[in-house]
């Protein structure tokens, strides 16, 4: 796996790290069963969820998907 450049700017000053920080609490609640949303089971589901829930930028950010798929061991 390639190393993630967390400082890479994606949109108007927002970096990969910013998007991860923004999504992390919500995704953590989902994955631990503390949300109305069922836990995400696949990388494809994760990709869609990230795209829909990240602020401002509604395109897939591969590094964000990679980070969370590694963290939650999604294939």
DSSP SS3 for 56:
coil
pLDDT level of residue 73 (50, 70, 90 thresholds)? very high
Please check whether residue 4 lies inside any domain of the structure.
Answer: no
**Number of structural domains, the chain?**
1
Please check whether residue 8 lies inside any domain of the structure.
Answer: no
Whole-model pTM: value is 0.92
Tens-digit pLDDT profile for residues 14-38:
999 999 999 999 999 999 999 999 9
Question: Six-digit token pair at 35?
Answer: 């949300």
Containing structural domain, residue 59: 14-71
Please check whether residue 2 lies inside any domain of the structure.
Answer: no
Beta strands, E only, the chain: 9-11, 14-15
Please check whether residue 60 lies inside any domain of the structure.
Answer: yes
What DSSP state is assigned to residue 11? E
Tens-digit pLDDT profile for residues 31-60:
999 999 999 999 999 999 999 999 999 999
Please check whether residue 52 lies inside any domain of the structure.
Answer: yes
Residue 23: per-residue pLDDT? 98
Tens-digit pLDDT profile for residues 4-17:
999 999 999 999 99
Q: Nearest 5°: phi and psi at 5?
A: -90, 95
């Amino acid at each position: 796996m390639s190393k993630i450049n967390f400082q890479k700017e994606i949109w108007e000053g927002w970096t990969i790290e910013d998007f991860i920080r923004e999504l992390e609490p919500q995704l953590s609640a989902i994955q631990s069963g503390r949300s109305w949303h069922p836990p995400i089971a696949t990388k494809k589901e994760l990709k869609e969820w990230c795209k829909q829930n990240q602020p401002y930028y509604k395109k897939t950010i591969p590094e964000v998907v990679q980070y969370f798929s590694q963290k939650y061991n999604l294939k």
